[in-house]
Amino acid sequence: MKFIVSSTYLLKQLQVLGGVINNSNTLPILDNFLFELNNTELIISASDLETTMSAKLEVESDNEGSIAVPARLLLDTLKTFPEQPLTFVVEDNNTIEISSNHGKYALAYADGNEFPKAVALEDASTTTITGDILATAINKTIFAAGNDDLRPVMSGVFFQFSTEGLTFVATDAHKLVKYSREDVSANEVAEFIMPKKPLNLLKGILAASDDNVTIEYNDSNAKFSFENVELICRLIDGKYPNYEAVIPKENPNKLTIDRTQFLNSVRRVSIFSNKTTHQIRLKIAGAELNISAEDIDYSNKAEERLTCDYQGDDMQIGFNSRFLTEMLNNLTSDNVQLEMSLPNRAGILTPVDGLDEGEQVTMLVMPVMLNS
């Protein structure tokens, strides 16, 4: 088995696939990339058993075969090469030899048949979406997903597809983000929960891509295909909580404010907040928003006043500044609206501008009890 490939082209593909590989694997074979050569087509795969990702590369060859090559060693070697053709030759002594312009490097390889096979999706439904829309949907929601192993359904992003549009939801019980698109739809209704790791991988690759991504899914797995890449992952098993029930419908108190100004204020004031609760207090009256924080243990406190557009009753409400900062950071609009009903009910944060046609973002942040 022998093939010739460009060093930088190979490295670029392997760096993407390398994100799948865990630092410590129970199965040693998972520390490898699987190389499957079929004449001029080389398919490289990486897996952690839950997620398998593969890329198709064009190479110069008229051979066939499959081997598993140590991932870390290969990546470290390729990073040091300037752009040049590399020749890979499988030798009899169970090594694969790489020849560059200046030298030869031999790596021990494993049998390609030991590598776990990717799952075949049966009875799958299909939806197509452009890469940048999918990347935006992941970006807007993934930060709100939980990390609690005891509640695995909340540690992923909930995909809800219908003929009306697509909705993506993430929550950790303290904050919730719902991102929906009415300009893209599916042929039939479907719901599934995607784990974070494959979504982070997709987000990185699709950031500025206008390629179409085909999503196939059944009850247990989902597969994302675009350009030369395929990613198959196991879905999180379980029923997603009824998130619509926690979004308050009647919110008569509406605060509209410059997002950057609000974010900077919250950041500054929160430095003086209690290090365990991160609590800040919003006091709104008329056209003035007063943001304050206090750490009684250390006698630290801070307070800032901002002008805002406010319709509603005067109120005081407490929030965890970390959640509020994360949400404001994640929005790209110039102005945001915070809708509230009572100091013990969730606040709803939405962008006022900067959205595409058919795009909607709703963020929900739970209040914290204020000590009077």
Q: What is the pLDDT of residues 351-364, one digit of tens each?
A: 999 999 999 999 99
Predicted pLDDT of residue 332? 94
**CA-CA distance, 311 to 316, in Å (whole number)?**
14
**CA-CA distance, 273 to 319, in Å (whole number)?**
11
CATH topology of 2-114 equal to that of 125-244? yes
**CA-CA distance, 279 to 129, in Å (whole number)?**
40
The structure's pTM equals 0.92
Q: Does domain 248-368 have CATH number 3.10.150.10?
A: yes
- Pairing of the two strands 2-6 and 32-38: unpaired
CATH fold of 125-244 reads: DNA Polymerase III; Chain A, domain 2 (3.10.150)
Please name every residue paired with 249 in a beta bridge, in sequence order, or none if there are none. Answer: none
- Pairing of the two strands 85-90 and 2-6: antiparallel
Q: What is the pLDDT of residues 268-303, one digit of tens each?
A: 999 999 999 999 999 999 999 999 999 999 999 999
In the DSSP assignment, the letter for residue 342 is: -
Q: Does domain 2-114 have CATH number 3.40.630.30?
A: no
Instruction: Take residue 350 and report the two structure tokens written for it.
Output: 């939405």
Q: What is the mean pLDDT of the chain?
A: 95
Phi, psi of 142 (to 5 degrees): -60, -30
Instruction: Take residue 173 and report the two structure tokens written for it.
Output: 């019980």
Give the chain's radius of gyration (CA, Å).
25
Q: Which residue has the tokens 């090559």?
A: 69
**CA-CA distance, 67 to 40, in Å (whole number)?**
16
pLDDT band at 9 (very low <50, low <70, confident <90, very high): very high
Statement: residue 266 has pLDDT above 80: yes
Among the listed residues 6, 3, 2, the one whose alpha carbon sits nearest the alpha carbon of residue 84: 6
The domain ranges of the chain are 2-114, 125-244, 248-368
Start-end of H helices in 107-248:
131-141, 196-206
**CA-CA distance, 256 to 267, in Å (whole number)?**
18
Contact 332, 360 (CB under 8 A): no
Residue 327 region by backbone torsions, left for phi larger than 0, else alpha for psi between -120 and 50, else beta: alpha
Contact 142, 170 (CB under 8 A): yes
Q: What is the pLDDT of residues 57-103, one digit of tens each?
A: 999 999 999 999 999 999 999 999 999 999 999 998 999 999 999 99
Residue 193, SS3? strand
Instruction: Take residue 214 and report the two structure tokens written for it.
Output: 């085909």
Among the listed residues 206, 239, 212, the one whose alpha carbon sits nearest the alpha carbon of residue 53: 206
CA angle, 359 then 360 then 366, to 5°: 160
Residue 227, Cβ neighbours under 10 Å: how many?
Answer: 14
Statement: residue 208 has pLDDT above 80: no
Predicted pLDDT of residue 372? 60
